[in-house]
Each structure stands twice: as C-alpha cells, then as structure tokens.
DNA sequence: AATACAAGCGCG
DNA sequence: AAAGCGCGCTTGTATT
C-alpha cells in the first residue's frame, strides 16, 4: 500500500466542470477547482494517482481523458453501480435507490448528440452530471453499502464493474490492431475481387447460377426466404424453413451450393469491404463496448459487431511490427464457475487441471466428451428434450450440488422470484405482464389454454434465472480477471516511441494494452519485449480472480494462452 | 418514406 | 444432431 484511498469527484457546474479531490472515506475536501470543460482532464491527471474518481457515467467523461493522452487508475461509475445496487437482493436499499429514477438512463453515446426523440422516450438519455445530483447519488450508494450485510462482495462487484467501464473506453480508444491487407486477401480468396457497391461478388454470382440450375429455375430469387422456400418445394426439397441446419438434412444437388451461397453472402454483407472501410479504416478496429449491457452483467456491444467477429476473420487481427499479441481464453468458464459457487467438490475435481468434459468422461458419468458437453450445457440452459435432456439425469446423480444450484435457480424463477449472482447482481423482478399471466391461470375458472400459456411462461422464466446465476457469476470472474490484468499492464514500463506515429494513439502506442474482450477471452497487444511478462501477468490475474471470488475452494480456471503475431492461428 | 418485425446467422 | 441461455447485425417483408 502506498497512500490511503482517496476520492475525487468530476461533475458539471453550469457550463464549467468542477473537480473536487477529497481525503479518505470521510469526504473531507482537499481541493476544488472549476475550469472550462476542455481543461478538466489535466486537472484530474495532476491529482494523486490512486484517487478513485466518482462521476456520473464513464462513457460521458473518460473519453476526454484518453483524448488528452492520459489514463486514470480507478473510478466509481455511478450509473453502473446504481444499476447493480437498485436490483441487488444483498442490499436493503432505500426507496430513493430502488425507485426508477433518472439514474436508470441508458449509457451516453459519445459519438451522437441526443435528439428530441431520444429524450422523449428515455432511451439514450443521459444520467444527471451536475455536482449536486452526483454527490446525492454517491451518498445514497455509500449509505446502502454501509447498511448491507454482504457489503464486501458488493464493493468488489462495484469495483470491477467500474474498472470494466474504464477498460471499455480504453479498448475503444486503443482499438484492435487490424490488417486491412489480410482482411482483403481473405475476402478475395472467398468472394473474388471487390465488386462495385450493390453488386454481388463474383463467387456469389457463380454460386447463384449453380443453385438456380440445380433448382431448374433460371429466375429463382435466392435472397427472399418465402420465394426461395417455394422454389425449393418445386424442386422437391420440402423443408419448413431455409435455415442451414434444416436444409443440410436434405440430399439434393441444390443443397451444397445453396449453403455455400448463404455463407458467402453473409460474409460479404456482415464483414465485407464495406465493413472494413467503416470499422477499420486506419488499421484499428474500434468496437463500442457496453459494460453491463446484458442483464446478467455481461458486456454488450453496439456498432461493428464486436461480439460476432467471425473466426474466419481472426487472422486479420495482427500485431504491429515489433509488437505481439497475447491471446488467452478460459476453457469451460461457466461449468467451472458453477462448480465453485455450488461448492461441488466432485465437479471441481473433474475440472482440475484439464479439460472439464474429459474429466466427466473419466469419472464414468457419460461415455464421450461430446455427451459431457451437451449434458452440461443442457443443465445450465434448462434443456428438457433431445440428447441434452436425456443426459442431464446422469449429471444430476454425479454432481448433485451443482445441479441443485441451477435447479433451485430455475424453481425460483418459475415462481416469479429473484436470483442473485455470487457477488450480488440480482435478476430483474418478474414483470407485471408475466404476473398477470400467472394470475389468470391460477383462477379456478381458468381455461386450459391459459394454464398452458402460464406454464410455458413460467418455464421460460425459469430457464432465464437458471442461466442467470451461472452466466452472471462467470461475467464477474471475467471482470475480476480483466480489472487485475489492467493494473498489471499499467505497471509495465513503456517502450521508446517508434519511428512512425503509433496507430494506438498517444496513450497506448508505447505500452501493452488490452485490445479485445469477449466474455471469456482476451487479446493483449504488447511490445514484443514484454510479451512473456504479459503472458505471465495474464495467468497471475486469472489466479487472483479465482482466489478473490472463491477463496480457498479447490477450483482452477486453466487458460489456453498463446503469444503470436496474428490471432488466427489455432 | 419511415418504422417494426421475423428470419437467419455470427459470437460466447 | 439440431433442444436449452445471452447478445448484434443485415436483409426482406409487413405495417403505417
């Protein structure tokens, strides 16, 4: 430890910005300055490095700091923390926190001015950012934490949630190093030369001709599902839909070229040349991450499709000259989290130091790895039919504690209750519509159709809450991993600037930085001299996240990790 | 002409 | 082999 923890506040004050720095938890004021909006990042940067900055919304304030060429170490994002505290079953929050307020607004979008439409319906509206509102909300949150019996877990959750918000802004600013040349080569190999806009690429046109010939219909429309389905029926393919998994059941010469046609049109429209020009014009892919964007606590994304980057395009993620990528993902994150949070020693044992699914097979629970995977996913998702549903009972016998945890979460959800993750994020309460459906079905005179509807609705909600506890706790583990790693990377010394202006900008052009995060995998872009140190840090952070959440429980989270110049290699 | 929805497919 | 969780995006079609 160096200095005691300090708080800082950044808020709007009329047309100015006010920066307050305080000492300790008692909020004794140390310094207060007013300045023009463009000058506050310099003020904040001159404060002690361990200040925890309280502000309304990280996406509202932090990009300005990054644009000014600096970073901040810690923050308390009032909007995100409000969202957690408002719903958490672990706090006895006052009504002022519980009630829906202006603090429930959507995140600010830095790129886009709010329109009247946005303000009218609340979507895209910003949370308050004036000093009085910010201090009032901060005190409400501190009070709620002071009264909470499980405050330690909640404080951890709020801390990693806020660190994630900093990181989301930083990763957007730094970008994923993206090779336009490799992307273009992949497109040309699959699709042919770049077509003029509005025209199908050459390979797609050739496939379309092959498909139409196989259909015996030279004018068949392939891009309209109803028309395509009718053409297929005329050719004797009596599918119910045009989805891939159904079509591939049929043995007909049209199927193979049609599936290839769908694959290539998808590539061209979702990640083709237009995408490249829009999202990686300068050799950096900058997706907009939305921390806390999913109810379970996972991040969402908006723009660029960061969560859907096809594996096919991963080779285009390429380190700069003299730099390397450290690519790491957790094998079977969610089942491991389930083993730990349920205290299921048998499942934890099956997971230890190896492929968890192989561990289940070795324990004699099911016969093959594929069966183990299907069974476990089915247990966490609530499958009742098919192979998955058939295999779940064997799992229930072998791992009763783990299965009891997800079964209990499902039961609570079916009854309209709230479930909570390991660190204290609670699921939303059942909505009025859902309760109405159950109420109607409970009446003595209810029709059988109403009862069936209510049962289906209850099961649906049960599957959601069943998965919520696992997916949400997995998101917490991942955030803890990221937050710790972010600190480790910041402690590495920067390298000398290269001859060219660094594509990652003044902040990240000289030091290792996180470049990508997707649920259970990360990519760090690092000067090559630090690659080994970064790899070690990635592993240390994962171990610390495990101990931070689950203490001494004997569970491990092994990483698949490689140091590479491009992220495409297996 | 603008908007909402469904299908389909990409990711974990 | 195709059921069960959470997302975002594009396209075509239906609605207004």
A228 CA: nearest nucleotide by C1': C12
Query: What pLDDT digit, counting tens, does each position of A126-139 carry?
Result: 899 999 999 999 99
The CATH number of the domain covering residues in A334-472 = 1.10.150
Query: What pLDDT digit, counting tens, does each position of A349-367 carry?
Result: 999 988 999 999 999 999 9
Beta strands in A415-528 (DSSP E): 513-518, 521-527
pLDDT of A113 = 38
Per cent of chain A over pLDDT 70 is 94
Q: Where are the domains of chain A?
A: 6-174, 182-276, 287-332+475-564, 334-472
Q: Is the separation of the CB atoms in A144 and A97 below 8 Å?
A: yes
pLDDT mean over A407-423: 97
Q: CA A516, C1' B8: Å apart?
A: 26
Residue A536: C-alpha distances to residues A238, A281, A551, A561 (Å): 55, 33, 21, 10
Query: What pLDDT digit, counting tens, does each position of A446-499 carry?
Result: 999 999 999 999 999 999 999 999 999 999 999 999 999 999 999 999 998 766
Beta bridge mates, A562: A327
Mean pLDDT of chain A: 92
Prediction pTM value: 0.95
pLDDT mean over A416-444: 95
Fold of A182-276: Taq DNA Polymerase; Chain T, domain 4 (1.20.1060)
The CATH number of the domain covering residues in A287-332+475-564 = 3.30.70.370
Query: What pLDDT digit, counting tens, does each position of A287-300 carry?
Result: 999 999 999 999 99
* Phi, psi dihedral angles at A551 (to 5 degrees): 55, -130
pLDDT of A22 = 87
Per cent of chain A over pLDDT 90 is 84
pLDDT of A155 = 96
Residue A405: C-alpha distances to residues A298, A308, A399 (Å): 20, 30, 10
pLDDT of A501 = 60
- Which band of pLDDT confidence, cut at 50, 70 and 90, is reported for residue A84? very high
Query: What pLDDT digit, counting tens, does each position of A100-132 carry?
Result: 788 987 665 544 434 333 333 334 468 999 999
Spatial distance between the Cα atoms of A362 and A369, rounded to a whole number of angstroms = 9
3-class secondary-structure state, position A562: strand
Task: Residue A522: count other Cβ atoms within 10 Å of its Cβ.
Answer: 25
The protein side of the strand B contact, defined by CB less than 7 Å from any of its atoms, consists of A 225, 229, 241-245, 262-263, 266, 270, 307-312, 329, 471, 518-521
- Which band of pLDDT confidence, cut at 50, 70 and 90, is reported for residue A570? low
Region for residue A536 given its phi and psi (left: phi exceeds 0; alpha: psi -120 to 50; beta: otherwise):
alpha
The CATH number of the domain covering residues in A6-174 = 3.30.420
3-class secondary-structure state, position A16: strand
Q: Is the separation of the CB atoms in A382 and A409 below 8 Å?
A: no
A117 CA: nearest nucleotide by C1': B3
Does the nearest atom of strand C lie within 7 Å of A381's Cβ?
yes
């Amino acid at each position: 430890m160096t200095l005691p923890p300090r708080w800082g506040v950044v808020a709007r004050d009329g047309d100015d910005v006010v920066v307050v720095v305080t000492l300790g938890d008692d909020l004794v004021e140390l310094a207060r300055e007013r300045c023009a909006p463009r000058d506050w990042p310099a003020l904040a940067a001159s404060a002690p490095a361990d200040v925890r900055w309280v502000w309304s919304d990280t996406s509202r304030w932090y990009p300005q700091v990054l644009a000014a060429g600096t970073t901040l170490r810690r923050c308390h994002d009032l909007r995100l923390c409000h969202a957690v505290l408002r719903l958490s079953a672990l706090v006895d929050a006052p009504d002022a926190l519980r009630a829906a307020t202006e603090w429930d607004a959507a995140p600010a979008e830095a790129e886009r001015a709010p329109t009247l439409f946005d303000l009218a319906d609340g979507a895209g509206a910003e949370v308050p950012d004036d000093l009085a509102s910010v201090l009032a909300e901060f005190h409400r949150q501190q009070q709620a934490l002071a009264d909470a019996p499980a405050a330690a877990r909640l404080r951890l959750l709020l801390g990693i949630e806020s660190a994630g918000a900093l990181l989301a802004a930083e990763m957007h600013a730094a970008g994923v190093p993206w090779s336009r040349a490799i992307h273009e080569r992949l497109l040309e190999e699959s699709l042919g030369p770049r077509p003029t806009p509005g025209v199908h690429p050459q390979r797609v046109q050739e496939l379309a001709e092959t498909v139409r010939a196989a259909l015996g219909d030279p004018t068949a429309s392939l891009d309209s599902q109803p028309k395509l389905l009718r053409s297929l029926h005329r050719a004797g393919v009596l599918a119910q839909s045009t989805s891939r998994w159904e079509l591939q059941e049929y043995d007909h010469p049209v199927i193979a070229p049609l599936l290839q046609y769908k694959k290539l049109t998808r590539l061209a429209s979702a990640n083709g040349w237009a995408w490249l020009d829009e999202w990686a014009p300068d050799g950096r892919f900058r997706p907009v991450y939305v921390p806390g964007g999913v109810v379970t606590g996972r991040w969402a994304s908006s723009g660029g499709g960061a969560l859907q980057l096809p594996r096919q395009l991963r080779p285009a993620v390429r380190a700069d000259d003299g730099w390397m990528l450290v690519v790491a993902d957790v094998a079977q994150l969610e089942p491991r989290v389930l083993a730990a949070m349920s205290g299921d020693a048998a499942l934890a044992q099956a997971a230890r130091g190896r492929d968890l699914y192989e561990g289940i097979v070795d324990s004699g629970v099911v016969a093959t790895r594929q069966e183990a995977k299907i069974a476990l996913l089915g247990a966490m998702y609530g499958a009742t039919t098919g192979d998955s549903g058939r295999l779940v009972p064997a799992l229930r016998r072998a791992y009763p504690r783990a299965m009891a945890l997800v079964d209990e979460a499902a039961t609570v959800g079916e009854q309209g209750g709230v479930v909570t993750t390991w660190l204290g994020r609670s699921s939303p309460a059942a909505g009025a519509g859902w309760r109405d459906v159950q109420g109607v079905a409970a009446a003595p005179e209810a029709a059988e159709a109403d009862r069936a509807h209510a049962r289906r609705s209850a099961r649906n909600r049960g599957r959601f809450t069943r998965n919520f506890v696992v997916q949400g706790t997995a998101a917490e583990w991942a955030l803890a991993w990221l937050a710790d790693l972010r600190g480790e990377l910041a402690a590495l010394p920067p390298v000398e600037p290269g001859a060219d202006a660094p594509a990652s900008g003044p902040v990240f052009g000289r030091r290792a930085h996180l470049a990508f995060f997707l649920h259970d995998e990360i990519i760090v872009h690092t000067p090559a001299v630090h690659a080994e140190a970064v790899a070690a840090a990635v592993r240390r952070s994962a171990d610390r996240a495990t101990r931070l959440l689950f203490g001494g429980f004997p569970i491990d989270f092994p990483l698949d990790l490689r140091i590479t110049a491009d992220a495409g290699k297996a």
